[in-house]
Amino acid sequence: MGWPDGYGRRVLAEVDSTNAEAARLAPGLAGPEWILALRQSAARGRRGRAWVNPEGNFAATLVMPAREAPDRLALRSFVAAVSLHDALARVIGSDAGLALKWPNDVLLHGGKLAGILLESLGGPGGHLAIGIGVNLVAAPDRGQVEPGAVAPVALWPETGVRVTPEALLMALAGGYAGFEAQFTTYGFDPIRTAWLARAARLGEVVTARTAREEITGTFETVDAGGNLVLKTPQARHAIAAADVFF
């Protein structure tokens, strides 16, 4: 799979974070562009959490014009997740052990292999940054993640497969372009179907921890708005934002 038409590519030896670089570059970009950093000095995850990113791991951001409503832009996290799952399966040579954890993680053998972070840049009419981090060679120590969270894993120790960041970017960019075209043409439904087919713990009991409450119920589906739907004995809950614990 070659590099997709219409997408720029920028490979940096080092940067503070690829999402920060995307914010700096966005005003001068005419179209979507991938930014890959071979080393990050100040990587970030969700809610401002530090993201441990040693050299050899994958750190990239896709920055693209944001010409849609915020709720539709947010669905790009599912486009990115399905694309990343399939790119990893391609470079590994198998999708065995890979699964997607709502809202934005890729799991390998039950451990967290990758995370996705969406950020809005410049307000309405600005840009969207889709940041992606993958533990290709090393994972954070278990003690560096919050209690109860999925333990981090890395690709090489888990599978014996060595993949360079550049090789993963090539697989990911081509796959993302295909799913993005599907999303813009047919809407969220085919992406939602593809995501659910790769989902971890679908039909099982999970716990969603929001800023206000904790809900434990059966993971029933993801709805048309991208919300996690949990069924409890009392009700069905559509959850827009939460950390999910198994």
Extract the residue ranges of the chain whose pLDDT is less than 70: 43-53, 124, 143-145, 147
| Both tokens assigned to 35 | 């930014």
In angstroms, the CA 160 to CA 162 distance is 7
Fold of the domain built from segment(s) 8-197 = BirA Bifunctional Protein; domain 2 (3.30.930)
pLDDT of residue 118: 96
Listed in sequence order, the residues at least 6 apart from 164 whose beta carbon sits closer than 8 Å to its beta carbon are: 136
∠52-53-55 over CA atoms, to 5°? 145
- Note the pLDDT of residue 42: 74
First to last CA, the chain: 36
What's the confidence (pLDDT) of residue 81? 98
Give the per-residue pLDDT at 43.
64
Residue 144, helix vs strand vs coil? helix
- Which runs of consecutive H residues, i.e. helices, occur in 64-120? 70-74, 76-92
Task: Name the strand (E) or helix (H) holding 157.
Answer: helix 155-159
Give the helix ranges, DSSP H, for 60-200.
Answer: 70-74, 76-92, 155-159, 165-186, 189-197
Domain ranges of the chain: 8-197, 205-245
Which pLDDT value is given to residue 142? 74
Amino acid 52: pLDDT: 60
The model carries a pTM of 0.93
What's the topology of domain 205-245?
Answer: SH3 type barrels. (2.30.30)
Q: Which residue has the tokens 């994958």?
A: 58
SS3 230: strand
Q: What is the pLDDT of residue 55?
A: 86
d(CA 26, CA 30): 8
